[in-house]
């Protein structure tokens, strides 16, 4: 890790800069696949599944028998862990359920804002040797609580056509309606445009590699909403001199093992802490199965010594980390000062991995500085809020002049007429 001591404020924006990705060549390649799927449906999806997943799909949809069989491949221990995580995630997200009330904004004018679940959502779950089973929980639980009518899931097959048993097991547990053995750009394109087998959805959720990310971005321009822009995962740790360096190192490494492009930051006002964390990092890194990945991520990462907690929190808010751990004696006070972050972990016994799996909060969070303006996935992500208004005759008499005056100031006479024609009719009554 790079160690920076007491940087001048003028250097902060350079210091906190994320790697800029250049996707221009990727874009063309991905758009071609999307257009092919939009035009040729299942035939195109099958073609790309053969090409990229080396599987010749007879049937894109996973069968009830396969889903039934999956349970047997999931250990009892893992099933118990899933059950526990399920409970906590459900508890936290259920408390976010929306209620609404009718507001009388002025005499005779009644307005309300009604949350209505999206009719159909598509969840994308990457496959590979280690399937992201926790992401099925994080996306599927709120989708089902919201009451989305159609919830479908796409995940790439292995070369024998199988989707990971743990993914199928959780999908079945949550009552996800249909699962398709389709991955990559072709999955995103199919959920955006619909094919003979795979229905088009209103919104697509889920992580993926740079191809999947680009595909989501491209389809979101035209036909379908997506959860949020995506980028490499990241963590900032705020620590004082009393924090536990071994715990901190374990958290930095848990973020670093995600990928060589992951970013971790340690912000502290204790120079000694930097040295102690450095020693712990070296010790713990050696033992990791993914030490090469983690070590690359650490090369891009920084430990920054700052003048005090005020400066530290200023830097946190300038960076807007996806994950933020605060391990200081006064962590509750500092938590109040967080303006920009995805999810925040407070105190010595709240590792980031708790939020990844089982504390109950969602792990789909804004990266790459988007925490300045985006929330992580929450119940809002699965609803639209539709406004309604009901105005009585008297109500329109009440606000009619204001409407007509403003409409005429905007030179929209027909807008004014829609009021005057009604007001005239009340006069004759």
Copy the structure tokens of residue 7. 């940087």
- Name which position in 9, 50, 54, 393 contacts its own copies (CB under 8 A): 393
The site for its own copies, by CB under 8 A, has a size of: 125
- Name which position in 294, 304, 312, 313 contacts its own copies (CB under 8 A): 294
Binding of residue 414 to its own copies (CB under 8 A): yes
Write out the binding residues for its own copies, residues 147-176 only, by CB under 8 A.
Answer: 166
Say whether 26 sits in a helix, a strand or coil: helix
Nearer to its own copies, 47 or 250 (CB): 250
Binding of residue 73 to its own copies (CB under 8 A): no
Binding of residue 329 to its own copies (CB under 8 A): no
Nearer to its own copies, 50 or 80 (CB): 80
Instruction: Provide the angle, in degrees to the nearest 10, between the axes of the packed helices 165-174 and 76-94.
Output: 40
Binding of residue 41 to its own copies (CB under 8 A): no
Binding of residue 31 to its own copies (CB under 8 A): no
Which helix (H) or strand (E) covers residue 172, if one does?
Answer: helix 165-174
- Name which position in 8, 28, 410, 429 contacts its own copies (CB under 8 A): 410
The gap from C-alpha 210 to its chain's centroid, in whole angstroms, comes to: 15
Binding of residue 359 to its own copies (CB under 8 A): yes
- Other residues' Cβ atoms within 10 Å of the Cβ of residue 51: 12
The Cα angle at residue 250 between residues 244 and 256, in degrees rounded to 5: 135
Half-sphere exposure of 311 (CA within 13 A, CB side): 16
Distance CA 15, CA 304 (A): 10
Write out the binding residues for its own copies, residues 235-264 only, by CB under 8 A.
Answer: 244, 246-247, 250-251, 253-254, 256-258
Least distance (Å) between residue 174 CB and its own copies: 15
319 contacts 341 by C-beta, under 8 angstroms: no
For its own copies, which stretch binds (CB under 8 A), given 64-72, 138-146, 264-272, 404-412? 404-412
Least distance (Å) between residue 289 CB and its own copies: 5
Nearer to its own copies, 329 or 386 (CB): 386
- Name which position in 225, 259, 261, 295 contacts its own copies (CB under 8 A): 225
Copy the structure tokens of residue 51. 């090409």
Q: What is the DSSP letter of 162?
A: P
Binding of residue 81 to its own copies (CB under 8 A): yes
- Name which position in 96, 162, 209, 270 contacts its own copies (CB under 8 A): 96
> Across the strands, what pairs with 391?
109
Say whether 249 sits in a helix, a strand or coil: helix
- Name which position in 6, 11, 241, 413 contacts its own copies (CB under 8 A): 413
- Other residues' Cβ atoms within 10 Å of the Cβ of residue 276: 18
- Name which position in 53, 234, 240, 356 contacts its own copies (CB under 8 A): 356
| 9 class by beta-carbon count within 10 Å (0-12 exposed, 13-18 middle, 19+ buried) | exposed
């Amino acid at each position: 890790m790079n160690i920076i001591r007491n940087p001048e404020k003028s250097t902060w924006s350079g210091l906190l800069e994320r790697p800029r990705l250049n996707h221009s060549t990727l874009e063309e390649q991905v758009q071609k696949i999307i257009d092919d799927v939009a035009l040729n449906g299942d035939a195109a999806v099958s073609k790309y599944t053969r090409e990229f997943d080396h599987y010749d799909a007879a049937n894109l949809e996973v069968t009830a028998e396969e889903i039934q069989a999956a349970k047997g491949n999931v250990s009892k221990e893992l099933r118990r862990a899933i059950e526990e995580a399920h409970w906590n995630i459900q508890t936290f997200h259920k408390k976010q359920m929306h209620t609404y009330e009718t507001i009388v904004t002025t005499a005779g004018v009644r307005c309300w804002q009604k949350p209505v679940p999206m009719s159909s959502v598509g969840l994308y779950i990457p496959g590979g040797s280690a399937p992201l089973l926790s992401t099925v929980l994080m996306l599927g639980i709120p989708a089902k609580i919201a009451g989305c009518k159609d919830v479908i899931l796409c995940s790439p097959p292995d070369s024998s056509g199988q989707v990971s048993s743990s993914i199928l097991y959780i999908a079945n547990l949550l009552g996800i309606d249909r699962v398709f053995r389709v991955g990559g750009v072709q999955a995103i394109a199919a959920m955006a445009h619909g094919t003979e087998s795979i229905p088009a959805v209103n919104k697509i959720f889920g992580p993926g590699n740079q191809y999947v990310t680009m595909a989501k971005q491209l389809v979101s321009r035209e036909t379908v909403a997506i959860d949020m822009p995506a980028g490499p995962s990241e963590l900032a740790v705020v620590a004082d001199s009393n924090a536990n360096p071994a715990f901190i190192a374990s958290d930095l490494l848990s973020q670093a093992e995600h990928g060589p492009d992951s970013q971790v930051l340690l912000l502290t006002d204790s120079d000694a802490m930097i040295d102690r964390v450095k020693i712990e990092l070296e010790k713990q890194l050696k033992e990791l199965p993914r030490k090469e990945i983690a070590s690359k991520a650490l090369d891009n990462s920084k430990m920054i010594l700052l003048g005090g907690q005020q400066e530290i929190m200023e830097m946190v808010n300038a960076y807007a980390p996806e994950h933020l751990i605060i391990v200081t004696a006064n962590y509750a006070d500092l938590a109040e000062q967080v303006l920009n972050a995805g999810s925040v972990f407070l105190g010595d016994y709240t590792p980031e991995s708790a939020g990844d799996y089982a504390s109950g909060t969602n792990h789909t969070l804004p990266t790459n500085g988007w925490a300045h303006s985006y929330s992580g996935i929450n119940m809002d992500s699965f609803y639209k809020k539709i406004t309604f208004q009901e105005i009585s005759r008297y109500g329109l008499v009440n606000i009619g002049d204001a409407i007509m005056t403003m409409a005429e100031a905007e030179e929209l006479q027909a807008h004014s007429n829609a009021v005057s024609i009604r007001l005239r009719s009340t006069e004759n009554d």
